[in-house]
Each structure stands twice: as structure tokens, then as C-alpha cells.
Amino acid sequence: MNEQTPVPPSVERRTIEHVPLDERHGRARDLFTVWFGSNIMLLTIITGALATTVFGLPLWAGASAIVLGNVIGGAVMALHAAQGPQLGVPQMLQTRAQFGSYGSLLVVILVVFMYLGFFASNAVLGGQALSKVTGLPTNWSITVIGLISVVATIVGYRLIHRVTAVLSVVAGGALVIAFVWMIWVNGVPADTWHTDGFSWAGFMATLSVAALWQIAYAPYVSDYTRYMPKDTGQRAAFWGTYAGCVLGSVLPMLLGVLVGAALPTDDTLVGLSTLTHGVSTGVFAIFATGIAATNAMNLYCGSLSTITVGQNLFPRWQPAAMSRAVTAVVLFVIAIIPALVSADDFLANYANFLALLLCVLIPWTAVNLVDYYLLRHGEYDIEALFERDGGRYGTFNWVAIACYFIGIAVQIPFLSTTLFTGFAAAALGGVDISWIVGLAVICPLYYALMRSKVSAPVTQPAVVRA
């Protein structure tokens, strides 16, 4: 099944197929702006505010946990980004090499739900911010933010890069103004700087949330490096992505920590509006725009993952720009419904969503990184990734699948959420170290079980689809 519908030259025509070397473009520093600009938004601020509102930490402890979690999680995330220039395919397509052509479907589908969850969360906050600025009803504002993201997804990769480059400057400036206005112009309550209330449970929960923020990008971070020239190198791709994503996340999260410490009983958006009184309209408008851009990234990669599932089921299908457009619209409709329904209970739903998401992402990231860096050393048969039978990678890799479910199982006793607390977490006083346990168990387990099964590295040039 081939699509023949012509598209404007400004619209990205490729979807999940391999990007040929003669179409590669960009520099590693472009990766800094795409991740720095896209992270400066309201959802990042809300995530930081969890430290001092939901988890009850003092400002110093919340800030420390936020920085440490991002630094650790960012390293895991950026290792995935380094795969893009080498392979030239989306991250979830490459997952077929670890799990098999059909074995990967469960992971890819779970990742699609992750994108939809973040899309809905972002849409709620963006809609609330736009409603404050324009006076539009919140539900209409949520829909408008979502539609802007759909348009950007349809246009594709280049537009997303350009918009986030502009946001790096504009949203970065708004962030600085917000800090200045809160601390030196309007001021914060004196008890903002209190030092009591520390708990290891709250500290580890905050650290885990911050680490997850970074790790949640892992399933699609190389989607934004796959167009980079192959000689960009893994190190340059790693540091460009790491610096942009960590710095772009830490700064707005620290703003959220400060808002939560200053006004812990207020809704975070209300608190931010109060503390930035005088410039709040401009700040909210810019951060709402940032949400639309970030949601375009979520929807873009959700579309690629959905197309990956479709191509797996119909291997002769060669999806193009129209497929991405239709898929984006369908996913938007699916995601906008929970966004409209959950707007009133957003914060509690979001915290639980993050905890459960971490549990299912960690085993995948462990399998992928060990396979890429330690077992196959970045050498994959790209053509085999598009074969229905998986080629040399087969339909099911039961070792990877078993490790994935074992990885989820070993984390459950260490989970600590408002919905469920495992016996190990309870014994640790509510401290959640589930993701650390998951990585510590699955990385060596997968390596030991797969070492003898991995064939010789693919050294011949791979024949790939244009």
C-alpha cells in the first residue's frame, strides 16, 4: 500500500522509514534548543511543585531532589538520544531488534498511551492558562491548544525544531522574569524559606518524579536525532540533548518548587499568577504557547509509534505524510476526552500517572540500553526491522519479554503511591526506590541471558528503504 497523495514541500514526507544519509541535516547544538525550549512550560512547573505541595518538602530539600533526579534521569534519557544519528530510525521501531517484530507491540502500545497521557496533562494546563489570558471557557481553550499541536504534528520535524528554537529564547526570558518578579518585585511570604518538614519518603518521591521526567522522553528522544548526520557522533548527540533537556527541566521545576513553598495550599497555577502579579498575563501566554509546542512533540512521536504498530501488521504499507496527519487527528480525539474530563482532578491524577508510568518504562529502557551499548554496540540490520518476521531478530524475543515483565514485577513491592504502597516501600517508611531496583535487576539479567544469543555484529552496509 503506497500513498501517492502529494504534499507541500514544507511538510515532512517521511514517517518511520530510515532517513538516508544524503537527507541528514542539523547540528548537535540544535538538540539543545529543541529540548530546552520544549521543557519550559506549565507542566514542568507543576511537576516541580509536587515537591513542596504533594510531598511536603521544604524548599531546600525539594530543590535538591529536583536537581539530582534530573541529572540522573537525564543520563539514561540522553543515552537513547545518541542512537538516532547512528540508526536513522524512530526509537520504537528500533525496539523490534530487542523484543522481536511482534514482541515489541506491547511496549510500543504502552508508549502510545504514555504520549496520550502527557498530551492530556499538557492540554489541561495549557487550556487553563489560555483561559486565564483570554477569558475563553476552559474546555474550549483545551481544545484550541490541542488543535495547534495537531497542525504542528502534520507539518512535522522541521517546524517543531524551529518553534522550539524560538521558545528557547522567548520562554527562557519569561522564566527569568517570573523568578525576578516573584523574589525581588512582589516578594514571597517569609515562611517560604522554612527548613522543617523533610522526609526521606518525600525526597525520594520527588527525586523519582524528576528522574522519570527525563526517562519518559527515552522512548522518543532519538526521534529528534534521527535526521542528524551520522558523523554527528554519539557523544555530541548525548551532550546536546542532555544539556538542553536537563537545564530546560530543572529551571522551571525550581520555579514550581518555589511557588509550592510560598503558597502550598493554593492551586499551583493560582499561586504562580499571584506571585507574578503584574506580568502574569504575558508569562501565562508564553508558557501556554510552550505547551502547544511540547504537545506537538508528544503527538508527533505518538503518531510515529502508532504507525510503527500499523506497519508491523501490514508490512507492505509504506506510510507517508498523510498517514501521519490522519493518525495525529485520531490520537488527538482520543486524548482530548480525558483532558476535558479530568481537568478538575488534575494534580492527583497526574502524580499517580507518573508513578505508574515509571514502573513500565524502566524495564524497557534497561533492555534497550544494554542491547545497544553492551551487546550489539550500535550495529543493527535496519532492513530486518521492517520485515514482518523480524528477520534476524525474529517475531518474539522471549528473553527480552521475560525481562520486561520481571522488571515490572520486582518494582511492585517498592512502589509507593497514593493508590498502592508495596510492602518493601512500607518497610522503608514510604520511600519509593522501585525504579532503582528495576534498573539494578534487569540490566545485568538481560545482559547475562542475551550475551550468548546475540549473533556477530552487523558490519555490512544495511540495505534500507528509501
Average pLDDT of 357-373?
A: 90
Q: What does DSSP assign to residue 372?
A: I
The pLDDT of residue 459 is above 80: no
What confidence category does residue 244 fall into, taking pLDDT thresholds of 50, 70 and 90?
very high
Which ranges of 217-320 would DSSP assign to H, the alpha helix? 234-262, 268-275, 280-313
Give the model confidence (pLDDT) of 97-145 as tens digits: 999 999 999 889 988 888 888 888 888 888 888 888 888 888 898 899 8
pLDDT above 90 covers what percent of the chain? 47
Task: Calculate mean pLDDT across residues 257-276.
Answer: 93
Residue 381, all three cell numbers:
540490520
Top-confidence range, 59-73, 232-246, 451-465: 59-73
Position 5 scores a pLDDT of: 47
Cell numbers that stand for 67 in this block: 536537581
Distance CA 370, CA 373 (A): 6
Average pLDDT over the chain reads: 87
More confident residue, 279 or 216: 279
Name the amino acid, one letter, at 272: L
Please answer whether residues 336 and 142 qualify as being in contact, where contact means their C-beta atoms are separated by less than 8 angstroms. Answer: yes
Lowest mean pLDDT among 77-91, 205-219, 266-280, 338-352: 338-352
Q: HSE of 37 in the Cβ direction (CA atoms, 13 Å)?
A: 24
Is pLDDT at 366 greater than 70 in this prediction? Answer: yes
Where residue 464 falls among pLDDT bands split at 50, 70, 90?
Answer: very low
Distance CA 191, CA 195 (A): 9
Q: Give pTM, 2 decimals.
A: 0.88
| pLDDT at residue 179 greater than cutoff 50 | yes
Domains observed in the chain: 21-350 (1.10.4160.10)
pLDDT at residue 345, rounded to an integer: 64
For residue 132, the model assigns a pLDDT of: 81
Q: Report the distance separating Cα 28 and Cα 33, nearest Å.
A: 10
Of 242, 299, 277, 239, nearest to 116 by C-alpha is: 299
What secondary structure letter does DSSP report for 196? Answer: -
pLDDT at 411: 93
Give 463's pLDDT tier (boundaries 50, 70, 90): very low
- Asked whether the predicted pLDDT for residue 457 surpasses 80, the reply is no
| Residue 342 pLDDT level (bands cut at 50, 70, 90) | low
Q: 6 to each of 119, 320, 322, how far by Cα in Å?
A: 29, 10, 9
Q: For position 346, what pLDDT does the model report?
A: 59
Which pLDDT does position 458 carry in this prediction?
A: 53
**Which of 3-7, 97-101, 239-243, 357-361 has the lowest average pLDDT?**
3-7
* C-alpha to C-alpha distance for 169 and 112, rounded to whole angstroms: 30
Cβ atoms of 107 and 92 closer than 8 Å: yes
Longest CA–CA separation in the chain, Å: 66
Q: Do residues 51 and 62 lie in contact, with contact meaning Cβ atoms separated by under 8 Å?
A: yes
